[in-house]
Amino acid sequence: MEHYELFSARFAFCSLRQEDAQDVYALTGNAQVARYMAFSAHTDLEQARALIEQYNAGAGQGFALREREGGDFIGVFALKEAKVPGRRDISIFLAPSWWGKGCAGEVFAWAIGYAARAGIAQLAAHVAAGNTASRRALERNGFILHEVLPIEGLAGGLCVYLRILAADYTWIPDYLKAKKGVTWDFKVEWQWERYKIGEKLFAALCKNKAGQPIVSLKCEPEVSLLLQGEYPGIQPGYYCDKKHWISIRLDGSVPDTVIKQRLDTAYTLVLHKLPKKRQEQILG
């Protein structure tokens, strides 16, 4: 296996190898360290060896975290191969003596830059709801809570966070303009790209107060509530009637298939509110 070393401000990210198994086992065998990990505390060295192999499987990369000054082993970070194309699942565990020193945040920030340069589109992190320190570190680095999975025996469930590094929504304008009877304009004062059917607004591309790109859409009130419960990236309409509109963050937290479905529904909702004769004219 090729050996490599990469650096953040305080740490060296060295290729994780079987030669590191004893150092890894010193942590994975510690119940305090394993408390929030996907594995129980290891009881023999071979389990640590298997973990190293798992982290390096396929397109995955395991890193031994070491101090830049002195080279002491302080933990493990991994970019694991994921089932979703273009995504890597991240894992990190550190020696207790390094807890509370901002290490996870520094590692996450480094990982975002490294993954972006490597052409990785998304990073995902699975964190126990009770692991508030790791959750805060993820959120400070732009990770967004995607969903919470109920896990038997795990209080609060398992939080799934996503960090989108490359998302392409250039398809949305063409998708909307291709619908029969759609007209569009750009409201300079609001910086809104507005899409209408029969002069009635059904969709708008804009940015929210935080400067994040969003698409706002007409939506049924009961469906709006269900969508907001399922996707953190879907919220009540921004600068719209919050009962009958939703806003979807264009940050990868909502699948494209769901966005397309909502675009179609918004168009249909407004179209069907038009007089029958006008509908017939539009649909030909």
Question: According to the 3-state scheme, what is the secondary structure of the chain?
Answer: CCCCEEECCCEEEEECCHHHHHHHHHHHCCHHHHCCCCCCCCCCHHHHHHHHHHHCCCCCEEEEEEECCCCCEEEEEEEEECCCCCEEEEEEEECHHHCCCCHHHHHHHHHHHHHHHCCCCEEEEEEECCCHHHHHHHHHCCCEEEEEECCCCCCCCEEEEEEECCCCCCHHHHHHHCCCCEEEEEECCCCEEEEEECCEEEEEEEECCCCCEEEEEECCHHHHHHHHHHCCCEEECCCCCCCCEEEEECCCCCCHHHHHHHHHHHHHHHHCCCCHHHHHHHHC
- Tell me, what's the pLDDT at 240? 86
**Domain C-terminal end among 112, 134, 164:** 164
For residue 8, the tally of other CB atoms under 10 A from its CB is 17
pLDDT of residue 239: 85
| pTM of the predicted protein model | 0.62
pLDDT tens per residue across span 239-271: 888 899 999 988 777 888 999 999 999 999 999
Is the same domain home to 181 and 259? yes
Q: What total of structural domains would you count in the chain? A: 2
Residues 118 and 256 occupy one common structural domain: no
Cβ atoms within 10 Å, residue 220: 15
Same domain for 157 and 254, yes or no, is: no
User: Are residue 19 and residue 80 in the same domain, yes or no?
Assistant: yes
The residue out of 122, 143, 164 marking a domain boundary is 164
Q: What is the mean pLDDT, run by run of 10 residues, along the chain of 284 residues?
A: 73 97 98 90 98 96 96 97 92 96 94 89 94 92 90 91 85 96 94 96 91 92 92 87 92 85 98 95 91
Q: Based on the domain organization, do 204 and 148 belong to the same domain?
A: no
Segment 190-244, tens digit of pLDDT: 899 999 999 999 999 998 887 788 999 999 999 999 999 888 789 999 888 889 9
Confidence (pLDDT) at 3: 54
Task: Specify whether 143 is located in the same domain as 274.
Answer: no
- Are the C-beta atoms of 176 and 263 separated by less than 8 Å? yes
Task: Say yes or no: 158 and 96 in one domain.
Answer: yes
- Is residue 120 within 8 Å of residue 79, measured between CB atoms? yes
Half-sphere exposure of 53 (CA within 13 A, CB side): 6
User: Any residues with CB less than 8 A from the CB of 152 and at least 6 apart, and which?
Assistant: none
What does the alpha-carbon distance between residue 233 and residue 245 come to, in Å, rounded to a whole number?
A: 14
Are residue 41 and residue 121 in the same domain, yes or no? yes
CATH number, domain of 103, equals 3.40.630.30
Same domain, 21 and 82: yes
CATH number of the domain residue 267 falls in: 3.90.1150.30
Q: Answer yes or no: do 52 and 139 share one domain.
A: yes
Range of the domain at 27: 5-164
> How far apart are the C-alpha atoms of 124 and 126, rounded to whole Å?
7
Judge contact between 76 and 93, C-beta under 8 A.
yes
